[in-house]
Structure 1
């Protein structure tokens, strides 16, 4: 069984980005998602108006995830998209990256902002179940980043195959990534694939802070950072990261 997974921070629509504001680039963002050809996509920084647009543009996809401010629709979402095909969402939930992960709006440790993870359990048409975590770590709190990794490692402990992906705001050699590796996860995308954050410059060699990691049940058959520019436009201030995986 193969699955193609991707993660993409699409940059929130409230940011004052001028020529790169959401209304200007939203078609490019959708085109970039389509070009990934992924079965499962984790998106970060999705505000309600963006979610509405995505539901309109991907009407046949299952799209799940709650707002980080209230556990319903307020604030940024870390949504999971599953395209029609072999995989369906069996159940899902949003948890907060804090000491109180069940409390909407809770802020963890030294984090600057409320941060969340969306967990989705996917069932293949043959009955196989896997888990997906799509998350967005805090950009400032180093303790929060590390504790978020430890928290996710506890959540996914067990026999189920898991994919952990998202904007971790941390580079491959950082403590949060090392913590996930120590917990048994393996990075899917090699370091030499290039950077993922570029702040709308289009640079391909800046920091890699967007990641896909997998438990030992998965074999990575190919993986990359996508530097696709639909019609010459950068689709976000991050590049998407994508990997094709196969269950052993």
Structure 2
């Protein structure tokens, strides 16, 4: 009787997926416009305690630049940046299977948004599993019924928020990472989603909190201003002394998407951002997604968890 273990099964599935992706067509560089600003991943300073990343990896799209052709470069981007934790968006079950295999240093928290198990996109948080102990974790839906899979207000899709409290195994310092992906159509849903995030974060005033998200809104929009002016969370981009201003959603044509900053990293007052980057370099000159990944290096700015 032939017995195949889990890792062998994953390898077989990924090999089959890769073959399908190859047959579906390989993207030509001429179809993709290069960004004007080229920024690559940098080493984290020893003075910083955390590197937090937000990354919309694009769903399991097919055709040119399909997801199966991007599995390795998405994983390489995360492994190269080596964030303490990364919030992903549009992580379908296929992506989760692939990344669980490729991100060997990481464990994750998250469930599919359509059934609370494995169906639908995840908004997972991957964290360094040897460095951190998962203290608490959970998820809720951005809706009037947050305990069950559901659409809220005028949203077009189920939207979920994932959270995790991580404790450093050496220093015993802890922080909370919250991650989500707001609806792309629901105006009321995005506003209410911000209010739900703020309500949740406000329950942990003594804990450093980071919030990563594709919010599907731009800087200055009403939900953004509610968040930025809340006194609970602030945009790390404008707190970091070493920062940059560049679009995060490019859709392979940066010149046509100028100013589309819709991906964010927010922090509470117990974190002090130092470096904010939008990574535009890609891997070997290739875009890894239709969004640029972004990261922020930061330190704890007060004594906590004594």
How far is the alpha carbon of 1:36 from its aligned partner? 2.3
Alignment equivalent of 1:148, drawn from 190, 193, 213:
193
Residue aligning to 2:172: 127
Q: Does 1:2 align with 2:43?
A: no
How far is the alpha carbon of 1:85 from its aligned partner? 4.8
Larger Rg: 2
CA distance in 2, matches of 1:78, 1:43: 6
How far is the alpha carbon of 1:131 from its aligned partner? 0.9
CA distance in 2, matches of 1:84, 1:67: 21
Alpha carbons 1:32, 1:228 under 8 Å: kept: no
CA distance in 2, matches of 1:113, 1:171: 20
Secondary structure at the aligned position of 1:35 is classed as helix
How far is the alpha carbon of 1:236 from its aligned partner? 0.4
How far is the alpha carbon of 1:12 from its aligned partner? 0.7
CA distance in 1, matches of 2:274, 2:252: 30
How far is the alpha carbon of 1:116 from its aligned partner? 0.7
CA distance in 1, matches of 2:294, 2:245: 9
CA distance in 1, matches of 2:244, 2:102: 33
Alignment equivalent of 2:229, drawn from 162, 165, 182:
182
Alignment equivalent of 1:244, drawn from 294, 297, 302:
297
Secondary structure at the aligned position of 1:150 is classed as helix
Residues matched between the structures, number: 245
Alpha carbons 1:198, 1:206 under 8 Å: kept: no
CA distance in 1, matches of 2:142, 2:294: 22
Q: Does 1:230 align with 2:283?
A: yes
How far is the alpha carbon of 1:27 from its aligned partner? 1.4
| 1:137-216 equivalence runs, <5 A | 137-157=182-202, 158-184=205-231, 185-190=233-238, 192-201=244-253, 205-216=258-269
Alignment equivalent of 1:29, drawn from 60, 74, 82:
74
Alpha carbons 2:79, 2:103 under 8 Å: kept: no
Q: Does 1:115 align with 2:159?
A: yes
CA distance in 1, matches of 2:105, 2:279: 24
Unaligned runs of 5+ in 1: none
CA distance in 2, matches of 1:19, 1:35: 25
Unaligned runs of 5+ in 2: 1-47, 302-306
| 1:66-85 equivalence runs, <5 A | 66-85=111-130
Structure 1-normalised TM-score?
Answer: 0.93
CA distance in 1, matches of 2:148, 2:210: 24
Per-residue CA deviation, residues 227-247 of structure 1 (Å, 9 max, x unaligned), is 121122100000011000111
Per-residue CA deviation, residues 175-213 of structure 1 (Å, 9 max, x unaligned), is 111111222211112485200001123558440000000
